[in-house]
Amino acid sequence: MKLNQEQQEMLDGKHGPGAALAMKVQFAIGECFDAPHMVPITNSHVALSNQESDLWFAEKMVGLGAKTRIHPTVNPGFCLSYFKEKKMVTDDYADHMRRTHEAHKALGCRLTYSCTPYMGTNIPMPGEVIAFSESSATPYVNSVWAARTNRESAQSALCASITGYVPLYGLLLDENRKGNILVQVKAKMTSDFSYNLLGYMGKKIGPGIPVFVGLGDYVSPEAHRNLGAELNTSGAYGMYHIVGVTPEAPTEKEAFGGKDPQRVVTITDEDLEKVLAEEITDPGGRKIDFALFGCPHSSAAEVQFITEMVAGKKLAVPLWIMTSDQTKKTCEKMGLLDVLRAAGGDVVEDTCSDQPCWHPLAGKVGVTESPKCAYYPRKRGLEFVIRDMKTCVEAALKGEVE
C-alpha cells in the first residue's frame, strides 16, 4: 500500500508515537485487504462500548500523546451518575466507566454516548467517506444515508479518527456496494417490530449484500435501525438495499449493478413466526421482573408511545428506556419524563444493555422488543421474552407476558 508524504511521516513517528501506532494499525489493515492507498475521512464514530479492550487501547493512545483529528462520536457505556445513585454498580465498575470517559475525553472525542448517532448527532452526507464502528450504525450510514464506511472496529475507527485516513478497500469502492442476494419479502411487515424479525433472518439470507423487495415505498427510521441492528446480530452485514427506498437502489437493476443475483431468498410470515418462536424468545405465559427498551437507543417517538400507554397507570415491574442524551432532553421538554416516572418507569441516557450496570438483574426475566437486547446480555445472566413494543408495555403493566 502506497503512502503519501504525510502518512509516511505519521508512520515514521514525526507526528508523535500515538499517530505512529494508529498509522501502523491502519497500514496493516490496508495490506490485509490489498488496498492501493489511503483516502481522507471527514467523519467517524467509535463504538467504545466500555469494554476492557476499548479502555486498554484508548489509555495506551492517551499515554502516547494521541489526539483525534476527526473528532468522533462514541457509543454508550453506562450513565455513571444514574447507576451510582441507584446503587446498581460496584466501585470497580464505576471506576472503569470513569476511566473510559476520561480517556476518550483526553483524545478529543465527542462524548455523545449513543449507539444511534445516525439518527441525530452524526448524520453523514451521501458519498462522504467516513469511519464508523457499531453494529447498527455501519449498515444505516451506508444504506440509508449512502455514505461510505467499512465495518470498522472500535480500535480501527479510533485510529482513523487520529490519522484522518482509512485504507481504500471494501465498501468504499463502487463495485463492492452492489447487492448480490435478492430477498423477496412476502411476509406482512405491519410494524417496526417486523423489521427486527426480518433482520434476524441473517442465517437464511447468508453472507453478502441483500437487496430487499416487497417492503413498500416507505420504511421508517426506526425500522431501518432495527433491520440493520438485527442483521448484524444474526450475521455480519455492512450494507443492504431496499428497492425504491434506499438511495443506491432506485431500481432492482441498479441495486445489482446490472448483474443477476447470486441467489434468491424468500421470507414468509411462517419464517418470521418460526424465528420468533424458536430462536429469540420463549412462549411466554410467565411472570417478568422488568422491561428494557432501547437497544439500539430508542427514538423520541418510541418514548412517547410507551409513555402514552402507561400514563395514569402503575407499572407492575420496573421499566427502563435507554436513549441518547439528546433524546432524553427532548422528551423532558415534552413533559414525557414526569408522566413516565409517575407510572414507575424511567429514561436513562448514555447506557447500553451490555453493561455491568444491569448485573443486579442477573437471574431475572425481562421483556423487550429487541432481539439484539436479548442476545448480548445473556452472558451477564439476564433472560428476556421478546414481543412487539405494545405487548411488552402491556406485560410491564401486568407483570406477566401472555
Rounded distance between C-alpha atoms, residue 399 and residue 373, angstroms: 19
Q: Which residue has the cell 502506497?
A: 2
pLDDT at 279: 66
| Model pLDDT for residues 84-104, shown as the tens digit of each residue | 999 999 999 999 999 999 999
Confidence of residue 379 (pLDDT cuts 50, 70, 90): confident
Residue 284 has pLDDT above 90, yes or no: no
pLDDT at 96: 97
Per residue, what are the HEC states of 174-217? Answer: HHHHCCCEEEEECCCCCCHHHHHHHHCCHHHHCCCCEEEECCCC
Residue 283 has pLDDT above 60, yes or no: no
**Per DSSP, what are the bridge partners of residue 265?**
183
pLDDT at 278: 75
Burial class (CB in 10 A: 0-12, 13-18, 19+), 314: exposed
Mean pLDDT (the chain) is 96
pLDDT at 156: 98
pTM value? 0.96
pLDDT at 280: 66
Confidence of residue 275 (pLDDT cuts 50, 70, 90): confident
Mean pLDDT on 280-285? 62
pLDDT at 282: 61
- Is the distance from CB of 290 to CB of 276 less than 8 angstroms? no
Mean pLDDT on 273-297? 84
Rounded distance between C-alpha atoms, residue 137 and residue 45, angstroms: 9
Confidence of residue 238 (pLDDT cuts 50, 70, 90): very high
Rounded distance between C-alpha atoms, residue 168 and residue 397, angstroms: 51
pLDDT at 266: 98
